[in-house]
Amino acid sequence: MLDTLNVTELANGIKIVTLEQPHAESAQIAIHVRVGSRNETEAQNGASHFIEHMLFKGTAKRSAKAISQAIEGQGGSINAFTDKDNTCYYVKVPYDRAFFALNVLADLFYNSTFDEKELNRERQVIAEEIYMYDDQPDSLALENLNGQLWSGHPLGRPILGTLQSLSGLTRDALLHYRTTQYAPCRTVFSFAGKIQHDACVKAVEKLAGHLTNPPLLREPETFSRAIPQEPLTLTKRDIQQTQLAFGWRTPGLMESKALAVASVLSCALGESMMSRLFQSIRERKGLCYSITSGRTLAVDCGALLVTAGCESRKAGQCTRAILAEVRKLMEKPMSAAELRRTRDYLCGRFRLRMDGAPIGWAAGRILFGVSADPEAVLEGIRAVTAEEVRAFATEILTPERLSLAIVAPKKDATSETAWLKLRNY
C-alpha cells in the first residue's frame, strides 16, 4: 500500500523517515517532536502551543514575513499544530524546492529568536484564540469533557493553556521549556514525494546531526486508571442549542488489538451516515442535525467520544436515545452484515487516507515507537469479531465510566441532578 518507506536513525536519536514517490510533483516535509501539552507542568500549561506560535515569528536570518514568503513564494504552504503529546511543523512545496524548504523549516525550528515584542504580541493572539474557542459551544463542551476524563492529569489541561497560565509564560520560561523538552531523541524528520532517502538523511545530518540531548530529559506523566474521572459538567451560555459531549476512557495506541476493536465499535456507533446514531437519532427520530462519534488517542490511553447538538427541549430525549444505542451495543453482538459493512468502511477509509497523506500517519507512529505497517492495521480491523465488539462495549461503555459535558442555554432549567439521572442508562 505504501511506496518504499525508509527509516534512518542518527547517532543523537533523530529519525529520518522518507516515502519516495517518483511520479509526484511535490515534496512534503515535516518536523515532528514528541512534546505536547502532556509534557507541561501546571505552571507551564500552554507552553508547547506558545512555542509553536513563536517559532514562526522570526530567526536571525528571516523575519516572520520572510518565512512565509520563502515557502508561499514557491507556491507552497507552511503550517504547524500542537497536540497533547506531539507538535508538528510542516511544509509542502514543488519537489525541486524540497531542500530549500527544509532549510527554512529547520531554521525556524532551531533558530527562532523569541523576540520579546513578538512574544508579548503573540500572547494576545493566543488569548484571542482561547476566547474564540470558548465562544463555540461544541468546542467548549469537548474541552470540558477532556478535563473530566483526565481530571488533575496533564492530559486534562487545555492545549492552549489558560489566560492565567499564559500570563506566566515568560521568554525565559519558554526558552527553558524548549531547551529541556525539544530533544533530538524525540524528533522525527519526514519527507514524502519526489525525493531520495540518502539525500534527505545527508541534509538532516548536516543540519542537526551535531545536536546533543539534554542530560536530564523529563518524561511526561504516565496514565493510570487511578486518575479520577468527573461524571458531569453543566455550563450555561447565551445560545440556542444544547451541546452534548459523552466520553468513555479506552486503551491507547500501544494496544493494537483493543485499538482495532474500538475502531469498529466507534464506527458502528456514529462515524458515518450508515451508523446507528445517525440513522436512529437524526434520520428516524429527527432529534438533531449533527451527531457523531470518534476517538482520541495517546500512547497509553484514549477515549471514545459522542457529540451532538439539539434543541434544548429535546436534549433529555436525545441523551436517552443516544445512551439506548450505546446499551444495544453492550447487550447484543452486531449482525454479520453490519460487521462486514463497518469493517469494509474502515478499511476503505484507511486506504484512501494512505493514498492521500500516508507520511504523516507513518511518521506519527514511528515517533511513538509503534508499527507503521498499514497492512497490519487492515488485518487487525478485518479480524475483529462481533463478540469482541460486544465484550469491549460491555467493559468500556458503562455508566460508571461515562463523563458527560453539557453546554446549555441560560434559559434551560434542567438541573445537574436531572442530568446525573439521565446518564445512568
Question: Angle 116-134/47-54 helices, nearest 10 degrees?
Answer: 120
Gap between the Cα atoms of 298 and 222, Å rounded: 10
Gap between the Cα atoms of 146 and 73, Å rounded: 39
pLDDT digits (tens), the chain, 425 positions: 566 799 999 999 999 999 999 999 999 999 999 999 999 999 999 999 999 999 999 999 999 999 999 999 999 999 999 999 999 999 999 999 999 999 999 999 999 999 999 999 999 999 999 999 999 999 999 999 999 999 999 999 999 999 999 999 999 999 999 999 999 999 999 999 999 999 999 999 999 999 999 988 888 988 888 899 999 999 999 999 999 999 999 999 889 899 999 999 999 999 999 999 999 999 999 999 999 999 999 989 999 999 999 999 999 999 999 999 999 999 999 999 999 999 999 999 999 998 877 899 999 999 999 989 999 999 999 999 999 999 999 999 999 999 999 999 999 999 999 999 999 89
Gap between the Cα atoms of 107 and 117, Å rounded: 20
Q: How far is CA 59 from CA 33, 62, 121, 158, in A?
A: 19, 5, 16, 28
3-class secondary structure, 145 = helix
Q: How far is CA 183 from CA 110, 134, 357, in A?
A: 11, 33, 26
Question: Catalytic residue among 9, 40, 52, 416, which?
Answer: 52
Question: Angle 386-396/256-270 helices, nearest 10 degrees?
Answer: 90
Mean pLDDT estimate for the chain: 96
pLDDT in tens, 110-137: 999 999 999 999 999 999 999 999 999 9
CA dihedral 390, 225, 223, 361 (to 10 degrees): 0
What pLDDT score was predicted for residue 249?
Answer: 97
Whole-number percent of the chain with pLDDT over 70: 99
Gap between the Cα atoms of 260 and 264, Å rounded: 6
- For 415, other C-beta atoms within 10 Å of its C-beta total 10
3-class secondary structure, 42 = coil
Gap between the Cα atoms of 101 and 103, Å rounded: 5
In sequence order, the 6+-apart residues with CB closer than 8 A to the CB of 238 are 409, 410
pLDDT in tens, 272-308: 999 999 999 999 999 999 999 999 999 899 999 999 9
Indicate if 52 belongs to the active site: yes
Angle of CA points 394, 246, 254, to nearest 5°: 60
Read off the C-alpha cell for 310.
439539539
How do beta strands 290-297 and 87-94 pair? Answer: unpaired
Angle of CA points 58, 64, 70, to nearest 5°: 110
**Spatial contact of 292 and 307, defined as CB atoms under 8 Å apart:** yes
CATH of 232-422, one of 3.40.50.300, 3.30.70.20, 3.30.830.10, 3.40.50.620: 3.30.830.10
Scan for cell 489541561, then name that residue: 157
Gap between the Cα atoms of 283 and 280, Å rounded: 6
DSSP of 246-315? EEEEE--TT-HHHHHHHHHHHHHHHSSTTSHHIIIIIIIT---SEEEEEEEE-SS-EEEEEEEEEEGGGH
**Spatial contact of 143 and 84, defined as CB atoms under 8 Å apart:** no
- The CATH number of 5-208 is 3.30.830.10
What pLDDT score was predicted for residue 2?
Answer: 63
Q: What are the residue boundaries of the structural domains of the chain, listed by start?
A: 5-208, 232-422
In sequence order, the 6+-apart residues with CB closer than 8 A to the CB of 68 are 56, 78
Gap between the Cα atoms of 22 and 196, Å rounded: 9
